[in-house]
Copies of this chain bind each other. A is one copy, B any other.
Amino acid sequence: MHVIVVYDTAAKRNPRILRTCRKYLHHVQRSVFEGQLTPAQLRMFQAAVEDALDLSYDNVLVYTFPPGTSPQRLEWGATKPAPTDVL
């Protein structure tokens, strides 16, 4: 299923959450990732996020879409270079 992830974390944990997201998803904006995950991958991703972050402080929003559907994405403004490496 299509997944959008947006995080807001303490700066010192940014490298860890960035690394974790890159393993599963494409980088589309500074703290925004997108991609396709199975329910099992989503559970693995959640476990990795919980390991990487302090969830008493950090916040992660995960939007999921029914299989076969995905949102339309408009982009206004500058496209910044973002790594798109996905394992």
Is A32 part of the contact surface with B, judged by Cβ < 8 Å? yes
Q: What sequence of 0s and 1s flags, for each residue 47-79 of chain A, a beta carbon within 8 Å of any chain B beta carbon?
A: 001100101111111111100010111111111
A79, closest chain B residue (CB): B59
Q: What sequence of 0s and 1s flags, for each residue 13-31 of chain A, a beta carbon within 8 Å of any chain B beta carbon?
A: 0000000000000001111
The total of chain A residues at the interface (CB under 8 A) is: 34
**A76 engages B63 (CB within 8 Å):** no
**A77 engages B63 (CB within 8 Å):** no
Most buried by B among A49, A62, A69, A74: A74
The 9 listed contacts between A and B (C-beta, < 8 Å) are: A6-B32, A8-B29, A31-B31, A50-B76, A58-B78, A59-B80, A62-B76, A63-B74, A64-B72
